[in-house]
């Protein structure tokens, strides 16, 4: 039996993880489940899986959680500190699926606790990649990528010859607006942006996919996961989302991982690794897919990608600022306060205005994150919709 904790259990990735675990109750034992404030969903999952502990990050939800769990035997706790304590309870396997910077401290707590951390929270590696990977090394923690592209690369990497890899090619669907004109992009609404053509995901990552900031964050994530130089990572638009990424070797061989666009496939790989487990996911029918298309991303349409590339090359605090400003801009877009094209502009202006020294600890990253949010927040106020 593998003991499992899910941070962000009520979200898209968290729910997919629960789905797999609940199909194999003989193989998994749930230690803790956490959520922001979705008490009903969290309590129902904790009761179904007989979790030891359920945690809501929002302290005002504690009484509601206690009431929902009354008589179930599941302990209820609340607060950001309690989320980190849940991460430290020492499960064999922890899914880190909180969205955004809110996940940084819980990811660090899980990395320090040892065992295996399956990482979906890409923002943790973008903002604090050096600090996070050092913590994994120092505590002997196995860090497994859940993001479908990085999971694909991980599956294609020949661990006996890491220095024989010449290039990593991340595929991108290009999101729902990959064929839009500039004018059309200016008029995109939040409802259009959260409806991804291939994947069903949380709101923030859906908007990130539409701007292609998601692929930019993934370039930085890949840089921290795989031992290549920044210029050895490429992005290609592949609208069918069938090839999830590729690894090119020095001899010219290219290995790819393919599958239906269902996050349960990479999650299952991380859950069973180094073994594999069966999933109910739709089998890939290549004849029905018919063709696989590839194209280069168009620069004017996806300025966020270039911003992320520059942040990766510059290093230091740049990726943390990029990530913080993007979170503020995406939240403002989802609230209808700024237009779609302003997301990248807000990120660019924040990067132009704020240039601190490289952070050397998680606290330093969080201080830069807070400052960058303040700059981005001021910039949001300048946008009148």
144 backbone dihedrals φ, ψ, rounded to 5°: -110, 130
* Closest CB 124 distance from ligand NAD, rounded Å: 8
What does 221 interact with, of Mg ion, ligand NAD, none (CB < 5 to 8 A by kind)? Answer: none
- Is 208 among the residues that bind Mg ion (CB under 5 A)? no
Dihedral Cα 276, 282, 287, 288, nearest 10 deg: -160
* Closest CB 98 distance from ligand NAD, rounded Å: 4
Part of the chain binding Mg ion (CB under 5 A), chosen from 82-90, 143-151, 297-305, 363-371: 143-151
Choosing from 35, 54, 147, 154, the residue that interacts with Mg ion (CB under 5 A) is: 147
CB of 201 or CB of 220, closer to ligand NAD: 201
**Residue least distant from ligand NAD (Cβ):** 11
d(CA 285, CA 267): 21
Residues numbered 238 to 267 that lie near ligand NAD (CB under 6 A) are 263
Part of the chain binding Mg ion (CB under 5 A), chosen from 113-121, 124-132, 146-154, 311-319: 146-154
CB of 241 or CB of 350, closer to ligand NAD: 241
Part of the chain binding Mg ion (CB under 5 A), chosen from 22-30, 53-61, 69-77, 140-148: 140-148
Part of the chain binding ligand NAD (CB under 6 A), chosen from 197-205, 272-280, 317-325, 329-337: 197-205
CB of 308 or CB of 349, closer to ligand NAD: 308
112 backbone dihedrals φ, ψ, rounded to 5°: -75, -20
Choosing from 4, 5, 10, 235, the residue that interacts with ligand NAD (CB under 6 A) is: 10
Choosing from 33, 86, 97, 265, the residue that interacts with ligand NAD (CB under 6 A) is: 97
What does 6 interact with, of Mg ion, ligand NAD, none (CB < 5 to 8 A by kind)? Answer: none
- Is 57 among the residues that bind ligand NAD (CB under 6 A)? yes
* Closest CB 245 distance from ligand NAD, rounded Å: 12
- Is 327 among the residues that bind Mg ion (CB under 5 A)? no
Hey, how many other C-beta atoms are within 10 angstroms of the C-beta on 183?
7
48 backbone dihedrals φ, ψ, rounded to 5°: -60, -40
d(CA 259, CA 273): 17
d(CA 2, CA 28): 5
Structure tokens at 35: 């959520």
Choosing from 98, 220, 322, 331, the residue that interacts with ligand NAD (CB under 6 A) is: 98
Residue in the structure block whose two tokens are 């020492």? 90
Structure tokens at 48: 């179904």
Any known ligand binding at 148?
Answer: yes
* Closest CB 143 distance from ligand NAD, rounded Å: 14
Choosing from 81, 88, 199, 249, the residue that interacts with ligand NAD (CB under 6 A) is: 199
What does 194 interact with, of Mg ion, ligand NAD, none (CB < 5 to 8 A by kind)? Answer: none
Q: How many residues bind ligand NAD (CB under 6 A)?
A: 26
Hey, how many other C-beta atoms are within 10 angstroms of the C-beta on 3?
17
d(CA 215, CA 4): 29
CB of 102 or CB of 306, closer to ligand NAD: 102
- Is 123 among the residues that bind ligand NAD (CB under 6 A)? yes
What does 305 interact with, of ligand NAD, Mg ion, none (CB < 5 to 8 A by kind)? Answer: none
Q: Which residues are annotated as a binding site for NADPH?
A: 10-13, 37, 121, 123, 202
In the complex, the residues that contact ligand NAD under the rule CB under 6 A are 8-14, 35-36, 38, 57, 83, 97-99, 102, 120-123, 147, 199, 201-202, 205, 263
């Amino acid at each position: 039996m593998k003991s499992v904790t899910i941070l962000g259990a009520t979200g898209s990735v968290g729910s997919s993880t629960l789905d797999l675990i609940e199909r194999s109750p003989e193989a998994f034992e749930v230690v803790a489940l956490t959520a922001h404030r979705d008490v009903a969903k969290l309590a129902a999952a904790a009761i179904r899986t007989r979790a030891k502990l359920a945690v809501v990050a929002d302290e005002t939800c504690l009484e509601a959680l206690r009431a929902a769990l009354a008589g179930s035997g599941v302990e209820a706790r609340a607060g950001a500190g309690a989320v980190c304590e849940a991460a430290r309870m020492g499960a064999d396997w922890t899914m880190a699926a909180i969205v955004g910077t809110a996940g940084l401290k819980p990811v660090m707590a899980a990395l320090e606790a040892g065992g295996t951390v399956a990482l979906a929270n890409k923002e943790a590696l973008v903002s604090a990649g050096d600090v996070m990977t050092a913590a994994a090394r120092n505590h002997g923690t196995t860090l497994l990528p859940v993001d479908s592209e990085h999971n694909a690369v991980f599956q294609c990497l020949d661990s006996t010859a890491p220095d024989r890899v010449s290039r990593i090619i991340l595929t991108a669907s290009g999101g729902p607006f990959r064929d839009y004109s500039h004018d059309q992009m200016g008029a995109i609404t939040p409802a259009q942006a959260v409806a991804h053509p291939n994947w069903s995901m949380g709101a923030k990552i859906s908007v990130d996919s539409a701007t292609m900031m998601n692929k930019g964050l993934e370039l930085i994530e890949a840089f921290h996961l795989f031992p290549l130089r920044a210029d050895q990572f490429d992005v290609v638009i592949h609208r069918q989302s069938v090839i999830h990424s590729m690894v090119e070797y020095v001899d010219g061989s290219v290995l790819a991982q393919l599958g239906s666009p269902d996050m349960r496939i990479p999650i299952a790989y991380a859950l069973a690794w180094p073994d594999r487990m069966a999933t109910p996911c739709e089998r890939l029918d290549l004849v029905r897919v018919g063709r696989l298309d590839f194209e280069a991303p168009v620069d004017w349409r996806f300025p966020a990608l270039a911003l992320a590339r520059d942040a990766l090359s510059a290093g230091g605090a740049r990726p943390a600022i990029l990530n913080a400003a993007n979170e503020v801009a995406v939240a403002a877009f989802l609230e209808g306060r700024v237009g779609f094209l302003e997301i990248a502009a807000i990120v660019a202006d924040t990067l132009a205005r704020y240039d601190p020294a490289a952070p050397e600890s998680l606290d330093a990253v969080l201080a830069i994150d807070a400052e960058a949010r303040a700059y981005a927040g001021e910039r949001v106020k300048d946008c009148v919709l």
